[in-house]
């Protein structure tokens, strides 16, 4: 279907992202464990093989192509891209350090997502990447109706939650505003 000459692609500036529960006594309250998760996920493979819809991997919270830096003309997401976006060895090291710092031998993670096929596929990808590449990590997927997801997120009964944000306007702040602590 992607090669159909009649197919029209509409580019929207949006980002799928994992909202992490960083409350006290949760796994992702530890910065090393958050960093490890970011480094272990192969976002290029996720875009190509799981989404398979022409998506561009996002390495920052700001969607690629949303806005350009007015002084340089460079895409804001490219300017803000971290030097390292995928490094399994470093992820493993950080994960182990984080477990030790938290006094844990393992991490059992709960992942909430909507019960739609694409969301379940993304969840299975994340589960596979985490469980096969991070020692002593287990991911339990809860693919449920939207109301159940929101209820659990609002109560803090999750470690990871798949979300999607589409920019309201062409400014990086449209994406960054989502990161405010009172924005659920």
Q: What is the pLDDT of residues 40-96, one digit of tens each?
A: 999 999 999 999 988 888 777 777 777 788 888 888 778 777 778 899 999 999 999
Statement: the pTM of the whole predicted model exceeds 0.75: yes
pLDDT at residue 140, rounded to an integer: 98
- 134 in Cβ contact with 32 (< 8 Å): no
In a domain, 48, yes or no: yes
In a domain, 9, yes or no: no
In a domain, 1, yes or no: no
In a domain, 122, yes or no: yes
In a domain, 87, yes or no: yes
Query: How many angstroms separate the CA atoms of 92 and 87, rounded?
Result: 9
Higher pLDDT residue, 63 or 102? 102
In a domain, 8, yes or no: no
Number of domains in the chain: 1
Query: How many angstroms separate the CA atoms of 94 and 37, rounded?
Result: 9
CATH number at residue 88: 3.10.105.10
pLDDT score of 130 more than 90: yes
Q: What angle do CA 21, 22, 25 make, to 5 degrees?
A: 105
Higher pLDDT residue, 54 or 143? 143
In a domain, 80, yes or no: yes
Note down the domain range covering 131: 14-179
In a domain, 6, yes or no: no
């Amino acid at each position: 279907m992607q090669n159909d000459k009649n197919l029209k692609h509409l580019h929207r500036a949006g980002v799928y992202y994992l909202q992490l529960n960083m409350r006290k006594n949760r796994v992702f309250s530890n910065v090393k464990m958050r960093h490890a998760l970011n480094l272990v996920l192969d976002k290029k493979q996720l875009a190509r093989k799981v989404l398979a819809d022409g998506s561009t991997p996002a390495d920052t919270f700001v969607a690629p192509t949303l806005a350009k830096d007015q002084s340089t003309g460079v895409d804001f997401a490219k300017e803000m891209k971290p030097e390292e976006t995928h490094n399994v060895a470093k992820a493993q090291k950080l994960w182990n350090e984080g477990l030790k710092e938290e006094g844990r031998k393992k991490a059992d993670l709960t992942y909430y997502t909507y019960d739609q096929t694409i969301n379940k596929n993304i969840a299975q990808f994340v589960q596979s990447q985490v469980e096969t590449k991070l020692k002593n990590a287990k991911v339990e997927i809860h693919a449920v109706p939207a109301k159940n997801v929101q209820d659990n997120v609002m109560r803090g009964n999750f470690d990871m939650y798949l979300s999607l944000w589409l920019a309201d306007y062409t400014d990086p702040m449209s994406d960054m505003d989502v990161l405010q602590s009172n924005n659920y």
